[in-house]
Structure 1
Amino acid sequence: MVIVNCLLKCWRKCLLEHNSPSDFYVSCWQSSHLSWPLLLLRSILFLYSMTVLAVSVALDPYICYRFIYFTHWGFLAIVLETGFSTAISAYAHFKRPIDATFGLPWYVKTYWVLYNVTIPVAFLITVFYWGILKTSGKIQKYAPNPVLDVMLHGGNSVAMLMELVLSAHPSRLLHILQPLLFALAYLLFTVAYYFAGGLDPWGNAFIYPVIDWSKPQQTVIVVALTALFLTLMHLVVVAIASTRDAICRRFRNTPGIYNDGFGDES
């Protein structure tokens, strides 16, 4: 029975259910249930991400190759995440509070998945780009515009860090499956693209020089290390969420349910 109970607890942690729906549209830093402050901040993030996306598309000299890159997969996810978060806050503010009597609505669950995916992926992209691609000596090829370069590979993490710090809903350890599946989908795309004879804009038979399927052993090592680092980024997200809620709890001096990433809700 002990094993069964443990398995059931783990399974519940994998699910997208939370018994306080207001946590998805009220910041943990607020002492009331006002939804407009977070709506305003999320609207700014959504406007920022939409602007960066639009400008980057307009100025992209390799538009046909745009979505072979993980950066653009991740940034499109950010646009969707900020869009859903803004819509949820707007719905709660202008229409009515979200009812979770029969479980969280599909749009809240969709937002939660996007939230779980985009934050660690954004951190991964920033570190991977500046720490690995930059040192490869080919960074100039990926950065035709230096300002957009920073916005896409640095501003992405800043925006998602703000989303993380200002939110109130939990980040759970077992939700690591979601960003890993997102990364796996991209990995399978790179394999299919390689075997289909796909090239990068400069005629190379790889998308990134460190992920070259003509060198499978080297690539598998890079992929494995990247998966480990993505897992680490998710652990960092859970730790930040737990610290955020602990500070909010102390600052507001109120009891309640806080991030349940390391334990059960009670």
Structure 2
Amino acid sequence: MIKYTWKHGLYCISAFLGSEDESVEIFTKSSLGSISPLLWRIPIFLWATISLFMSMNYFWGPTKLFFVYMTHWGLLFIVLESMFGIIVVLRKRGRPDATFGLPWYVKTYWVLYNISIPVAFLITVFYWGILKSSLDTVKFSPNPVLDVMIHGVNSVVMFVELMFSAHPSRLLHIMQPLYFAGAYMLFSVTYYFAGGLDPWGNKFIYPVIDWSKPDQTMVVITLTAIFLALMHLITVAMAAARDSITKQCKPDPTGVYNDGFEP
């Protein structure tokens, strides 16, 4: 059992990776053994890139408003996460990196990984559980295929990334997705007070996050933050279950047991 210290709290609040003791090699391996992560990261990158450009093509408003929606932020993060995941594997096959601790591109991938997975789960549940069920008049994705792709398949591909990867997920990295959500909240506030409108001329981006009704909006944001934190905890739990199963099934498992309390 790991004793919780002030350093753990610092790692959590600052969102530091605390990764000096992690090896680059673990980020280039699969929980399935000798299978290369490129077998799923390349398809995820292609899917996310195509979905992003198709979403822009079928966007229901001016292109300049495309990135006002969190769904599109999340999709862009999947593109970046899978791209850096590919780079991590390919760079490992080249010359050894002399950087102290993890190289910058590995750290970047890990942060994107920590953010993209719980945010994808949040987007799926938020969209189908709140937006889609409460509003019939607003069409956030007129194309029904893209509707499923960017609000449903996004979680499926991130689940694949989570379950097939061999590197750990940490409880103390919880602030990384929360800071992402905080950045989007600040953007939405700034956008509102700057007079920004949605494609239909409304003074909000999402009807449930309407800053003209601050009390209601703060309740929604607080509940969303709690749910996002829960998604991170579930992500860590699934990573722990993945590594536990791997350890039991293989005499020399590729992954390491996911101790979520490590920084």
Amino acid at match of 1:259: N
Aligned mate of 1:217, from 215, 218, 222: 215
d(CA) in 2 for partners of 1:15, 1:220: 27
Structure 1 residues 207 and 146, CA, compared in 2 at 3 Å: closer, same or farther? Answer: same
C-alpha distance after superposition, 1:111-131 (max 9, x if no partner)? 000000000000000000000
Aligned mate of 2:155, from 157, 169, 187: 157
d(CA) in 2 for partners of 1:165, 1:78: 16
Match of 1:83 in 2: 83
Match of 2:25 in 1: 22
Residue 48 (str. 1) matches residue 47 (str. 2): yes
* Displacement after TM superposition at 1:9 (Å): 4.3
Contact 1:74 1:122 in 2 (8 A): yes
Contact 2:168 2:256 in 1 (8 A): no
User: SS at the partner of 1:142?
Assistant: coil
Task: Give the alignment's Cα RMSD to 1 decimal.
Answer: 2.0
Aligned mate of 1:171, from 169, 172, 189: 169
What does 1:85-234 correspond to in 2, within 5 Å?
85-93=85-93, 95-96=94-95, 99=97, 102-138=100-136, 140-234=138-232
TM-score if structure 2 supplies the norm length? Answer: 0.90
User: SS at the partner of 2:5?
Assistant: helix
d(CA) in 1 for partners of 2:37, 2:231: 24
Amino acid at match of 2:53: A
TM-score if structure 1 supplies the norm length? Answer: 0.89
Contact 1:24 1:167 in 2 (8 A): yes
Q: Unpaired segments of 5 or more residues in structure 2? A: none
The percentage of counterpart residues that share the same residue type is 56
Amino acid at match of 2:105: Y
Q: Unpaired segments of 5 or more residues in structure 1? A: none
Structure 1 residues 216 and 9, CA, compared in 2 at 3 Å: closer, same or farther? Answer: closer
d(CA) in 2 for partners of 1:11, 1:260: 18
Amino acid at match of 1:27: S
Contact 1:19 1:100 in 2 (8 A): no
Contact 2:124 2:151 in 1 (8 A): yes
* Displacement after TM superposition at 1:106 (Å): 0.4
List structure 1 segments (4+ residues) > 6 angstroms apart after TM superposition: none
Contact 1:133 1:139 in 2 (8 A): no
* Displacement after TM superposition at 1:40 (Å): 2.1
* Displacement after TM superposition at 1:169 (Å): 1.0
* Displacement after TM superposition at 1:260 (Å): 2.1
* Displacement after TM superposition at 1:44 (Å): 1.1
Higher RCO structure (Cα 8 Å, ≥6 apart): 2
